[in-house]
Amino acid sequence: MTQEVSEIYAVIATGGKQYKVALGQTLEIDHLAVAGGDTVELDKVLLIADGEDIMVGSPAIDGAKVIATCLGDEKGDKIIVFKYKPKVRYRRKKGHRQLYTKLEIKEILKPGEKPSKPKAKKASVRSKA
């Protein structure tokens, strides 16, 4: 007997880009002003697919959310911009490193669904010895 596993995924829009995300996936998006360990609700969900059940928004699905946990900020590769004009001694060199926020997808919520309660964080107690 074969059991089908329905993998749910969604297409979200953030930072002018679209991303296909699934549960447990980590992805880097353009920088968001959140601290590491915080939860982020991405509410611009364009599509949710759960096996044969597909919901498409126009342009977004009202009430749908993707809940993610911020894993921190990272910098991208360095890009060198070099301007040069021959015979006039004009040279400009400039570098740039884009900031990214790393997210881990925890839940994909359809319209009307409530998020599951977060697990209580256990505080570790260290004795000074």
- The type of residue at 59 is P
pLDDT at 71 over 80: yes
Q: pLDDT band for position 62 (50/70/90)?
A: very high
Residue ranges per structural domain of the chain: 8-109
Give the model's confidence band at 2: pLDDT under 50 very low, under 70 low, under 90 confident, else very high. Answer: low
**Taking a C-beta distance cutoff of 8 angstroms, is the pair 67, 39 a contact?**
yes
